[in-house]
Amino acid sequence: MILVVGGAGYIGSQVNKQLNKDGFDTVVFDSLVTGHKWAVKWGEFVKGDLANLDEIRALFNKYKIEAVVDFAAFIEVGESVRDPQKYYYNNLVNTLNLLKVMGEFKIGKIIFSSTAATYGKPLYDQIEEGHPQWPINPYGWTKLMIERVFTDYDVAYGLKHVALRYFNACGADISGEIGEDHNPESHLIPIILDVALGKRKEIKIFGTNYKTRDGTCIRDYVHVEDLASAHILALKYILGGGKSKQYNLGNGIGFSVREVIRAVKKITKKEFVVVEGERRMGDPAVLVALSKRIKKELGWEPKYTKIEDIVESAWRWHRKKYKT
């Protein structure tokens, strides 16, 4: 049995689906604070919170767990600045609780959602795993601290981990069964789709005077199905006795905010208001991954590298969500 912690969320539910399609038995453990019960369509489900050690112990007593895939975290950068305690407790302390119980039950394998935010302000454009890690917000620090904990737990207790550092997760399940549903939404693609659907009045570009090809920020948008396939590879690797690893997950192609807006207009065939606003604090001009390491070592290959394909899957899901 594979335990999927946070499997009711955007990326966790996609990985849970893929695991089941690949023949793994799964149990999803999720507090449903930000996740959705409707997103758990495969495997078993247990509602519970990592803040509660006894709930975790009961879970490990009930199911024979071989390995853990952990997505449970708060992910809003801005909120982490305003309320760091919320982030340090949930993302750090509660993950330590999970690792503690894993240790009690002698479960020594975990795949962990880390983030490009652990790198902080990029020192150069194409970021490989060896880029210095010095986060610029509490969210990034919570993830980096867990990466550090993994290293120490590996030395002391033999815990093996694969930390997957996501760049900009986006898109939706190609068959349209599940997708992104954050409240409030802060990510670029779903916000533009809301504008296209008339749910918001405009899309504001955060800064148009960056030193990039069209003045707007460039990001590496990696499709959620590609993230899912990377998790499956990482899990098989670690189940096969692999050593601890850290991998970037990005498609290696950057798109600017204007290019994303253009793709949304093309796919949705809608016209909408685009406003040129001020820069958002803490936004680097370019954030693009070099994901050579996981490609070479685990044979990962992202399939959705065209922004139009990414937007199309997100658009299909978005309309379904609002039943339009």
The CB-nearest residue to ligand UDP is 217
Is 124 an annotated catalytic residue?
A: no
Q: Residue 275: helix, strand or coil by DSSP?
A: strand
Q: Quick one: 10 exposed, middle or buried, by C-beta within 10 A (0-12, 13-18, 19+)?
A: buried
Least distance from C-beta 210 to ligand UDP, angstroms? 9
Candidates 21, 201, 280, 303: give the one binding ligand UDP (CB under 6 A). 280
Does 283 bind ligand UDP (CB under 6 A)? Our answer is: yes
Least distance from C-beta 168 to ligand UDP, angstroms? 5
CA distance linking residue 254 with residue 238, whole number of Å: 30
Q: What is the DSSP letter of 134?
A: B
H/E segment holding residue 274: strand 273-277
Does residue 162 contact residue 247 with C-beta atoms inside 8 Å? Answer: yes
Candidates 41, 204, 262, 292: give the one binding ligand UDP (CB under 6 A). 204
Candidates 13, 113, 142, 168: give the one binding ligand UDP (CB under 6 A). 168
Does 236 bind ligand UDP (CB under 6 A)? Our answer is: no
Does 36 bind ligand UDP (CB under 6 A)? Our answer is: no
Does 127 bind ligand UDP (CB under 6 A)? Our answer is: no
Best CA proximity match to 4, nearest among 38, 54, 48, 52: 48
Q: What is the DSSP letter of 118?
A: G
Considering the complex, state which of residue 192 and residue 298 has its C-beta at the smaller distance from ligand UDP: 192
Does 199 bind ligand UDP (CB under 6 A)? Our answer is: no
Query: 10, 87, 119, 139: which is the annotated catalytic residue?
Result: 139
H/E segment holding residue 304: none
Does residue 83 contact residue 106 with C-beta atoms inside 8 Å? Answer: no
Candidates 69, 205, 222, 264: give the one binding ligand UDP (CB under 6 A). 205
Candidates 50, 257, 288, 314: give the one binding ligand UDP (CB under 6 A). 257
Considering the complex, state which of residue 188 and residue 230 has its C-beta at the smaller distance from ligand UDP: 188
Least distance from C-beta 282 to ligand UDP, angstroms? 8
HEC letters along 35-60: CCHHHCCCCEEEECCCCCHHHHHHHH
Does residue 43 contact residue 20 with C-beta atoms inside 8 Å? Answer: yes
Which residues contribute to the site for ligand UDP (CB under 6 A)? 168, 186-188, 191, 203-206, 217, 219, 257, 280, 283
Task: Write out the catalytic residue numbers.
Answer: 139
